[in-house]
Amino acid sequence: MSDAASGLASRALERLEFLTALESPSGDVTHLNVLRDALVTKWRELGLDVTVTPGVAGDHLVAQWTVDQSDGHLLFVTHYDTVWSVGELERQPFLIDGDVVSGPGVLDMKSGIVAIELALEELRAGGRTPSRTVRIVCIADEEVSSIDGRQVIEAAAEGAVGVLGMEPSHSDGDFKSGRRGVARLLLRVAGRASHSGLAAAEGISAIDELVDLLIDVRRNAPQSVDAAINIGRISGGTRANVVAGAAEAEVELRFSEPASEKALLALFDGLRVHRDGASLEVVTLSHRPAWPEDPNSWLTTLVVDAARVIGDDVSARPAGGAGDTNFTGSIGIPTLDGLGPRGDHPHAVGEYVLVSSLVSRVELLVTLLTSDFKLKN
């Protein structure tokens, strides 16, 4: 590693350790606010204009480096919440072992935040300016489906010529050129409670109704290989001697193509109860639309070529999980995710990131931000 790369690695590790120490579980507004303030301070030191948008489960940040006469902006999508509860850092401390750095949230996705910060810092230190306006959106509820942050992302994406997601790359370093969509639905059934022995005929079992509805779901589910249904939770009733007056099921849908997405959602929209007096309510808890891969994406070609120029021989392929880039990719804005560093075990004990990959990603972002390539719609 050259002296310049070693210096960059040292700065990256210092910043990553600092951000990792600020534990930031989704929904824990008190702790999220501490990290929010640290990010705002750093970004304003970099000369970015920062806007803080209040959110139900934590505030969302939008930062911008405006370039005069710029034709549209390049949007970076990030988040600062993690899946880890406060105190996890004691069980999984921030550790550096050669090229491997482990700790809760280092991969997903605090190293991605560090990469874009250091790229902008490199530009400032060298007196350079991005080739076009740069905007960063960083939300507080990505790990809980971005229910509140989605609006901020979509607003920040208006007028963008391209979107780059700072989520981790595939474990082999490849970028993510598409994402499966996901929807979470709640099936809420109301029946009529009654004594199961003395007045069973007066009751309407919500549990029996829910079971029959779920059989309908299985019987009529789309047969497409990219469509998946998981019945993740069922609850209902009160006691064995009471006809259940209420029951519910939480269901997750996953889909790679808009046609499968439409078919799955139509299936649940079309459910009808079997028993007179029973009722069904289908509530959409969250929904990230499918983002199919565009095999002719100029943005993917641009980034992959730029990576290879700096010696990072990677490619791009779709990812199985959903993320915030689903919102932009699904509506046709050129989008590429996985520009965060290489590592493995996100959301799991042993989560780690490679220092060499973090340095490489900073170099890639600097190249992209200052390149003479003309991004196009």
Q: Are residues 112 and 44 in the same domain?
A: yes
Q: Are residues 224 and 346 in the same domain?
A: no
Last residue in a domain, options 249, 270, 288: 288
Q: Are residues 201 and 306 in the same domain?
A: no
pLDDT of residue 374: 54
pLDDT of residue 371: 83
Q: What is the DSSP string of 197-222?
A: TTSGGG-B-HHHHHHHHHHHHHHH--
Q: Tally Cβ neighbours within 10 Å of residue 206.
A: 27
The answer to the question of residue 61 being in a domain is yes
The answer to the question of residue 377 being in a domain is no
Q: Tally Cβ neighbours within 10 Å of residue 49.
A: 12
**In residues, how long is the chain?**
377
Q: Are residues 160 and 300 in the same domain?
A: yes
Q: Are residues 175 and 33 in the same domain?
A: yes
Per-residue pLDDT reduced to its tens digit, 324-347: 999 999 999 999 999 999 999 999
Last residue in a domain, options 237, 262, 288: 288
The answer to the question of residue 375 being in a domain is no
What CATH number corresponds to the domain at position 263? 3.30.70.360
Residue 275 has pLDDT above 50, yes or no: yes
Q: How far is CA 133 from CA 40, 60, 116, 160, in A?
A: 19, 20, 14, 9
Q: How far apart are CA 334 and CA 77, in angstroms?
A: 13
- Tracing tokens 């390149």 back to the chain, one arrives at 371
pLDDT of residue 69: 77
pLDDT of residue 377: 46
Average pLDDT over residues 257-284: 97
pLDDT of residue 3: 77
**Rounded to the nearest 5 degrees, what angle is found at the Cα of 151, between the Cα atoms of 292 and 342?**
50
Last residue in a domain, options 266, 288, 310: 288
Q: How far is CA 49 from CA 64, 65, 66, 166, 216, in A?
A: 5, 7, 8, 20, 53
Q: Are residues 71 and 151 in the same domain?
A: yes
The total number of structural domains in the chain stands at 2
pTM value surpassing 0.85: yes
Cβ neighbours of residue 30 closer than 8 Å, sequence gap 6 or more: none
pLDDT of residue 373: 54
Percent of the chain with pLDDT over 70: 98
Q: Which of the four pLDDT bands, split at 50, 70 and 90, describes residue 52?
A: very high
Q: Which of the four pLDDT bands, split at 50, 70 and 90, describes residue 162?
A: very high
The answer to the question of residue 376 being in a domain is no
Q: Are residues 110 and 213 in the same domain?
A: no
Average pLDDT over residues 42-46: 98
CA 146 to chain centre: 7
Q: Are residues 156 and 18 in the same domain?
A: yes
Q: Are residues 11 and 35 in the same domain?
A: yes
Q: Which of the four pLDDT bands, split at 50, 70 and 90, describes residue 196?
A: very high
Q: Are residues 13 and 152 in the same domain?
A: yes
pLDDT of residue 375: 52
Give me the helices (H) in the chain, please.
3-21, 29-45, 88-91, 111-125, 150-157, 206-220, 258-269, 298-309, 325-329, 355-370
Identify the domain containing residue 266 by its residue range: 181-288
Q: Which of the four pLDDT bands, split at 50, 70 and 90, describes residue 179?
A: very high
Residue 4 has pLDDT above 90, yes or no: no
The answer to the question of residue 267 being in a domain is yes
Residue 134 has pLDDT above 50, yes or no: yes
Q: Which of the four pLDDT bands, split at 50, 70 and 90, describes residue 71?
A: confident
What CATH number corresponds to the domain at position 39? 3.40.630.10
